[in-house]
Amino acid sequence: MATPQITNIPLPALPEGWSAEKDFKAVGTLSSATQRTVEPVGPHFLAHARRKRHNRTFSEDERIQAKEAVKKVEEDEDDEISEPEDPLMLTRDAKDWKGQDHYAVLGLSKYRWRATPEQIKRAHRKKVLRHHPDKKAAAGAGDENDNFFKCIQKATEILLDPVKRRQFDSVDEAADVEPPTKKQVQKGNFFKLWNPVFESEARFSKIQPVPMLGDENSTREEVERFYDFWYNFDSWRSFEYLDEDVPDDNENRDHKRHIERKNANARRKKKTEDTARLRRLVDDCLAQDERIKKFRQEARAGKDKKRLEKEAEAKRLAEEKEKARLEEERLKKEAEEREKAERAERQKAKEAAKNAAKKNKRVLKGSVKDVNYFAEGGDASPAQIDSVLGDVELIQSKISHEELAALASRLTGAGKDAAAVKAVYVEEAKRLVGEGKLKEGEVKVFV
């Protein structure tokens, strides 16, 4: 059995100048001292022994243990997912998550799209142990900014979601490999320089596995299969990640649809540009490929074969040219027909709007006629008729076709009630004055 330990705790020193006679105030009585036996057991005993051995306080021991736990976990993890952290990256604003490199945030820059979900989870665990606000507080860090921790969480959320990760990988320029220049190929190994380029581009192929460039010993069939594949490359690459955020506003649906159309057009444009870029890349590789030159030299060995190939090539080019011409004529004809149909439709709509406006103007004039131009007792005088019709025509000239239709509808609803009809005109006149389309005093009757 462990020997009980008696702990003597000294009382704190009294303030300078303190005296019992003038400063002491009794608020109660002290109970008699009681001696108790304290025996730490289990992890508490080990913690007690560690504090006694190293002469640490509780807070010091907890802080040191937290640091050692983080270090132990980091050492247990594979070094393959460790890389130095960029100080600028640690100061990123978490709100700008679209602009961050999610792989760099998790320390997976050298793996990028090749990183497995297990590597992503391990990398996330390491980063959390290092940058979690609670861990930093336990380690005594004074900086309470958790922006980078939020960046870690966002990067993990995106990279562990197959759809979101594919969207990010589509625009991950850091994973791209720049194609070599003609001078670089002349100085270096063609296959060593071009193979990494096609390995990088192959990640976007819907068809796997992807034929690779090969080497100088590749057969003609293998080379032709390679270029045929890349000239007809079927890419899953999309550009949704770069979309402008669509506002979640049900009251402004037109603006929402406008943003959606804008995003769709931008994606189509980027897709077209990427297809053209890849085609140019394959063209450059083909132009620098010495195997093609070798195959062509072999082809020249047979004169008849060369002649047949030349004729076949000329025929193919002629067919393509004719096909392109016919396609151009077809598209031109379709465009002309479409333009003609659109003009006819616009003319039809214009005529319809014009007829509707005439009808609505007749409704306005008929409305004041039906109420005898607001004359009371007997027929309206010519002067009064002119005055009323003058105000009606003035109002007509200041409103659009849609507003004219709305006004005609309200007058129809007013019927032959002179007061109701005049009230409609007065209300419309006030609206136009309020909008600055009419000046005060321009209307004489409807005031």
Which residue is listed with tokens 């002309």? 336
Radius of gyration, alpha carbons of the chain? 42
**Residue among 88, 131, 81 at smallest CA distance from 107:** 81
**Residue among 241, 244, 234 at smallest CA distance from 274:** 234
Residue 368 near residue 445 (C-beta atoms within 8 A): no
Residue 210 clears pLDDT 90, i.e. is over it:
yes
Residue 180 clears pLDDT 50, i.e. is over it:
yes
Write the DSSP string, 369-432: HHTGGG-SSSPPPHHHHHHHHHHHHHHHHTS-HHHHHHHHHHHHHHTT-HHHHHHHHHHHHHHH
**Residue among 68, 77, 73 at smallest CA distance from 139:** 68
Residue 380 near residue 414 (C-beta atoms within 8 A): no
CATH 1.10.287.110 region(s) of the chain?
Answer: 75-174
Angle of helix 147-159 versus helix 162-170 axis, rounded to 10: 100
Write the DSSP string, 157-193: HHHTSHHHHHHHHHT-GGG--PPPPHHHHHHS-HHHH
E strand or H helix at 231: helix 220-231
3-state secondary structure of 108: coil
pLDDT 10s digits, 291-343: 998 888 887 777 667 778 888 999 999 999 999 999 999 999 999 999 999 98
3-state secondary structure of 323: helix
Measured in degrees and rounded to the nearest 5, phi and psi for residue 136 equal -65, -40
Which residue is listed with tokens 């392109």? 324
Instruction: For the domain made up of 303-447, give the CATH fold.
Output: Helicase, Ruva Protein; domain 3 (1.10.8)
What architecture is domain 75-174?
Orthogonal Bundle (1.10)
pLDDT of res. 1: 47
Q: Where are the alpha helices (DSSP H) in 220-289?
A: 220-231, 253-288
Least confident of 168-177, 331-340, 391-400: 391-400
CATH 1.10.8.840 region(s) of the chain?
Answer: 303-447
**Residue among 437, 417, 421 at smallest CA distance from 429:** 437
pLDDT 10s digits, 231-265: 999 999 989 989 888 777 666 788 888 888 999 99
pLDDT 10s digits, 158-169: 999 999 999 999
